[in-house]
Amino acid sequence: MKRVLLLHTGGTLGMTGEPLEPNAYSQALTDAVPELNELAEIDTEIVFNLDSSDIGPEHWTTLTDKIAEHYDDYDGFVIVHGTDTMAYSASALAYSLAGLDKPVVLTGAQRPLAALRTDARRNLADAVELATCDIPEVGICFDGLLLRGCCSTKSNARDYRAFDSPGISPLARLGVDIDVADHVLHRNEPFAPDARFDNHVLAVHMTPGFNPRLFELMLEAEDHPHGIVLAAFGAGTVPTAKRSLAPTVEKAVGLGIEVLVITQAYGLVDLSLYQNSRKLAEVGAVSGGRMTVEAAVPKLMHALAIYDDAEARRAYLQRNVAGELG
């Protein structure tokens, strides 16, 4: 049988005791979902036990290091994770696990494993089976779908289909059989994980009437951001006629702060398309293409940590590292 390492980080799925004990959790998991033992030889490790809103870059580093440590010992990895920030973690791991040639599947649940009508049993069984397949990507398994992790977003807090990957078809669909898509990535480079992230990144959501002075106050802080993800309108537009944001973005770039522009909608940022977007490019902002905020924030954190040279960093931000650009 193939070997799968299940890494528990917390979240709704395993909320049955406080605090969770590794042996008790592992036994309860096997008892509750006995079919797991028919799918793979499973080892379980509790890496941390947190509400996912408390999970951030330092935890992405721990998970990267944990997978790298056991990489040669297992055929695939399953990460039990809370849903709220699962897409951020999946994106971060897609970048940090460079050269990945094994499946890393994140899953969780909208209701605990012990609850009636829980979705945890199916999600967990699906994730373990997917971790034995030839799908060498970081993905999110939920409600019968495997989505590309760095293209996913939590789209519903109440429905069992909690995640979506707008514009990107699922990597796999689980029904009677597992239907694996043709666009699964198979990388040729050697496995070379890099677990570094710079958490001095801020996301700014553009709104009508936005006051650029609020942006400037961040730049004036002693511990100012090293990078800013700017969620602009449409194809990348921001106000320019009144309270223009371009001079403030220019000031940020002049201070060495990377500004990565994404869209609040689903689609492609094209900073050359409109005058109100072109001004951002003229002052040094970088287009984030099709990246979601969940993909853009960890990518910018990773880029800032691994590249001191601004030109190399910007080239990385615009490169399709793990399929995040579609």
As a whole number of angstroms, the distance between CA 25 and CA 14 comes to: 8
164 touches 152 (CB < 8 A) = yes
Q: How far is CA 248 from CA 22, 185, 239, in A?
A: 50, 39, 12
Rounded (5°) CA angle 267-269-272: 140
Q: How many CB atoms lie within 10 A of CB 294?
A: 24
Cα-trace Rg, the chain = 20
The most distant pair of C-alpha atoms in the chain lies apart, rounded to whole Å, by 64
Q: What is the DSSP string of 112-156?
A: -TTSTT-SHHHHHHHHHHHTTSS--SEEEEETTEEEEGGG-EE--
Q: How many CB atoms lie within 10 A of CB 171?
A: 29
Instruction: Name the active-site residue from 9, 12, 153, 292.
Output: 12
As a whole number of angstroms, the distance between CA 82 and CA 65 comes to: 20
Please list, residue by residue across 77-86, b when 16 or more beta carbons sit within 10 angstroms of its beta carbon and e when fewer do.
Answer: bbbbbbbbbb
Q: How far is CA 258 from CA 57, 101, 229, in A?
A: 18, 31, 8
- Catalytic, 83? Answer no
As a whole number of angstroms, the distance between CA 212 and CA 124 comes to: 46
Please provide the distance, in angstroms rounded to a whole number, between the alpha carbons at the two ends of the chain: 34
Catalogue the active-site residues.
Answer: 12
